Amino acid sequence: MKNLIIKENSFPFVIFYTLFAIGINYCGSILAETIVFPLYLDSVLSISVVALCGYIPGVICALGSNVLLSIFTQSTYLFSICHVMTVTFAWLVFNFHNKKTDKSYTLDCFLWAGFWAAISNGIVGNMIADLVFAGNTGRPSANIVIQGIYGAVPNLTFANNFGGMLENIADKTLSACLSYGLYKLVLYIRKRKSS
């Protein structure tokens, strides 16, 4: 089904959807910081870009989102590694699915993509936060969770790593579900147009 989906995509759709996802990723991160929501929301649609448009547009979405965040927020370009890992794991999961069946992607595919992205982002993101920011990312929303864990277990390294992992799991689960919803919406619209 992935090859069929990519063949159905026109170049303008791929460009539009990738730019749309970059904008939503950026706005999600800004919203999370503004309302001090304890998730990152900086890659909420990245998985859907891979599902609908392919790996290269997914990487462009990942890098574009992080470049905007690095310019306009206190993020760093180093977190581009995490964004690229998110789309890479999505691509690997979708390719594994394609080898087993030619049916459209299921919610399970999106959740597995989100799970592997959460684990990889949790490990690498925590290393970046520890090495570059000394455990303080400058994001109040991220620091709230760490402060809560630190209150229960007064070990900053543990609180930072455990909190980062919990936030990534919740963040990527939400991202996977939102991406799946948009993926299904695009498939539904295409089906309606073709009938």
Write out pLDDT tens, residues 9-58. Answer: 788 999 999 999 999 999 999 998 888 888 889 999 999 999 999 999 99
Q: Please determine, for residue 64, whether its predicted confidence score (pLDDT) is greater than 90.
A: yes
160 or 104: whose pLDDT is higher?
Answer: 104
Say if CB 101 and CB 73 are below 8 A apart.
no
Please tell me the predicted confidence (pLDDT) of residue 158: 86
- The C-alpha atoms of residue 65 and residue 133 are separated, in whole angstroms, by 20
Q: Given CA atoms 45, 47, 52, 57 in this order, what sign does their dihedral have?
A: positive
CA distances, 95 to each of 55, 61, 64, 114 (Å): 10, 19, 23, 15
Locate tokens 């890098």: which residue?
Answer: 63
Reply yes or no on whether the pLDDT at 4 is more than 60: no
pTM, entire model: 0.87
